[in-house]
Homo-oligomer: A and B are copies of this chain.
Amino acid sequence: MPDPSIIETFENPNPDRNYVITHTATEFTSLCPVTGQPDFGKFTLRYIADKTCIELRSLKLYLHSYRNEGIFYEAVTNSILTDLVASCSPRWMEIQSHWTVRGGIRTDVLVRHGDDSIVPPRL
């Protein structure tokens, strides 16, 4: 099972600013819980750090730990948000997953945590 304890953090170098960090992981694969066949997706993680930031290499290893898990699109996206929120207690966080075509249909899931009002607006 994916183990959130492998996610490492480092001290936020500028905790006095609500700035946005984005990580786009284009190499994600898990298994379909029904058929056991591989699923392939892309994850975009955006967050406003509080005391700590997510360490990039440990994030990669955490995402790879889903490689042999059977799990639905909706569940894995929520699960990753829950784990990452627990690991670094961000002020705000968003996870988007984008999945390849199955049966002529592409699927995306968008989940957020925290107060949208602290996020720098589109300008």
Contacts and interface: CB of A to CB of B under 8 A. Distances in A.
Nearest to A16: B78
A107 B22 contact: yes
Contacts of A75: 13-14
Q: Please indicate which of the listed interface residues A59, A102, A109 has the most CB atoms of chain B within 10 Å of its own CB.
A: A102
Contacts of A102: 56
Given A13-B75, A24-B105, A119-B123, 16 more contacts: A13-B72, A19-B111, A21-B74, A22-B109, A23-B105, A23-B106, A23-B107, A26-B104, A29-B29, A56-B103, A57-B103, A100-B101, A101-B101, A112-B120, A116-B120, A116-B123
Interface of A: 10, 12-14, 17, 19-27, 29, 37-38, 40, 49, 53, 56-57, 59-60, 64, 67, 72-75, 77-78, 94, 100-112, 116, 119-123
